[in-house]
Amino acid sequence: MASSSAPEKAQSETSSRRGTNKKHLLAFLFLILLLLTALSLHQQTTMTRSLLPSLSDSVVQQSLTGQSTFGEADLIIQRSFEQSYAHILPCKKSSWKAMDSRIAIDCMQQTRDHIMSQNITVPWWFQTLLRDILAGGGGVYAPWHHFYTTKPPFHFCTVGKVATTEWRKVFCKLNAQDCVDDSSSCRRNCAWKTTQKMPAKAPWAVFVRDPLERLLSGFLDKCYNPRTRKNQGHCEPNVVFNPKKSLMNAKNKTYANLLDSLDIEGQEKAMFGAYVDVLPLKWNVHFVPQAMFCDLHRNIDKYDFVGNMGKDFYFDLDRMANQFGGQLPEILNSTFGYKDHVMSGNHENTGKQGSGHAMHTPAKVARFYTARTVRRALEYLSIDYVMLGLQVPEWARQMLKEESSTI
């Protein structure tokens, strides 16, 4: 028995060693795969960041020009961007000047698929942002964000809550002749897009806005007034702010409207803060970062004109009018009334008269923003500051400093 069991024991030990070696080999191969995946992700992130100026460079430049110093706001933006938007993959095909937004959609879908398949950890609000801008009806990649005219010839990217209503009026006037004989080509006798053939090298223009002020403007326009909330349904998620009668809970009962009969007079900061906390549960197009529109985060550096709807808004309109010429100066003035401001040297954007959501900072932001809300908003909108070259307003920096000094 002993002599026969020895070979069996040796064979068993040999099989055991082979099994152990195989496990070690599989573990080694798995480690190599992890390293290759990490290297690939690092290269993709590096490529994404190289597409546009880095945050550090912009902060250094601000310091050199004396415009600002690196502070808490910059740290929030940098951290948030690296944890979220830096994972956006480079686009193999150029979306620049493509009339079909399919390229931009496909590229963003690749980013979402990559994050999910590789189990990459990103903030929850970034996950819902990718989900909602890619969903049908998301609106970010819709064709109505692209206006164009031949009188004078130029393309325009219109961004939600950056005077979109007024820019529609401008292009309706520029393209008025398109609606004289063929009303079927117009939307309500108004053509935002000319029916004429556009020159191949027509310039491109866009106006952007401080993200924090744009966020508050959207809230005042879409959420503050109960009637507007009910009629428009843009204060999302509607299950919280405006549940419809057809929306039933698990017990087949209509959800209660949590804001009915709620008096928010004097509670502006609490109301706005609550909205900012939950808005990523369902991103509405009016609150999505500006960099997502027209694929600006990839193409902003290719635009022939970039204006800012800030304190120098009227002067940027004047610069635009002089750059493109034709009938544009007259039409811009009839819509925005910028000439009187420029002639008087008035560097104050008074906003649209009679508009409840026009911004008159710093008084209005002080009624709604807190340091906590500023921090949360900077996280969501960090891509606008990094990729569009926008600067954090001084009132926001001061709000953060004042809270820090009291702690």
Listed range (134-148, 200-214, 259-273) with the worst mean pLDDT: 259-273
Q: What is the mean pLDDT of residues 76-90?
A: 97
| Token pair belonging to 199 | 């020159």
pLDDT over 50 (residue 63): no
pLDDT over 80 (residue 18): no
pLDDT over 50 (residue 389): yes
| Token pair belonging to 48 | 């994404």
Residue 255: is it exposed, middle or buried by C-beta count within 10 angstroms (0-12/13-18/19+)?
A: middle
Instruction: Tell me the pLDDT of the chain averaged across its residues.
Output: 81
**Planar angle of CA 147, 359, 284, nearest 5 degrees:** 55
Higher-scoring residue by pLDDT: 406, 205: 205
The tens digit of pLDDT for each residue in 267-287 reads 889 989 999 999 999 999 999
Q: What is the mean pLDDT of residues 114-120?
A: 96
Higher-scoring residue by pLDDT: 291, 192: 291
Q: What is the mean pLDDT of residues 144-151?
A: 92
State the pLDDT at residue 34. Answer: 47
| Token pair belonging to 245 | 């009668």
* Beta-sheet strand order (sheet of 153-157): 146-150, 153-157, 204-208, 305-308
State the pLDDT at residue 246. Answer: 60
User: Which runs of consecutive H residues, i.e. helices, occur in 51-101?
Assistant: 55-65, 72-83
Q: What is the mean pLDDT of residues 198-204?
A: 94
d(CA 377, CA 204): 29
pLDDT over 60 (residue 296): yes
Residues 6 or more apart whose CB falls under 8 angstroms from that of 129 comprise 280, 283, 288, 289
Most confident of 179-188, 226-235, 251-260: 226-235
State the pLDDT at residue 149. Answer: 96
pLDDT over 80 (residue 30): no
Which band of pLDDT confidence, cut at 50, 70 and 90, is reported for residue 257? low
State the pLDDT at residue 404. Answer: 78
Which band of pLDDT confidence, cut at 50, 70 and 90, is reported for residue 83? very high
Instruction: Show the beta-strand stretches assigned E in 73-160.
Output: 146-150, 153-157
Listed range (25-39, 123-137, 306-320) with the worst mean pLDDT: 25-39
d(CA 20, CA 23): 5
d(CA 349, CA 335): 14
Q: What is the mean pLDDT of residues 228-256?
A: 74
Listed range (25-39, 85-99, 108-122, 292-306) with the worst mean pLDDT: 25-39
pLDDT over 60 (residue 365): yes
Which band of pLDDT confidence, cut at 50, 70 and 90, is reported for residue 40? very low
Estimate the crossing angle of helix 328-336 against helix 164-174, to 10 degrees. Answer: 140
pTM for the whole structure:
0.78
Higher-scoring residue by pLDDT: 261, 195: 195
State the pLDDT at residue 297. Answer: 94
d(CA 243, CA 191): 35
Phi, psi of 285 (to 5 degrees): -60, -30
State the pLDDT at residue 13. Answer: 57
Q: What is the mean pLDDT of residues 37-64?
A: 43
d(CA 23, CA 70): 51
State the pLDDT at residue 406. Answer: 75
State the pLDDT at residue 52. Answer: 39
Listed range (118-122, 179-183, 377-381) with the worst mean pLDDT: 179-183
Q: What is the mean pLDDT of residues 379-386?
A: 98
**Which region, left, alpha or beta, applies to residue 351 given φ > 0 means left and ψ of -120 to 50 means alpha?**
left
State the pLDDT at residue 127. Answer: 97
pLDDT over 90 (residue 203): yes
Q: What is the mean pLDDT of residues 314-333?
A: 98
Q: What is the mean pLDDT of residues 336-360?
A: 72
d(CA 297, CA 292): 6
Which band of pLDDT confidence, cut at 50, 70 and 90, is reported for residue 25? low
Instruction: Give one DSSP letter per residue of 303-358, joined into a string.
Output: -SEEEESSTTHHHHHHHHHHHH-TTHHHHHHHHH-HHHHHHHT------STT-TT-
pLDDT over 90 (residue 185): no
Higher-scoring residue by pLDDT: 245, 109: 109
Q: What is the mean pLDDT of residues 30-45?
A: 46
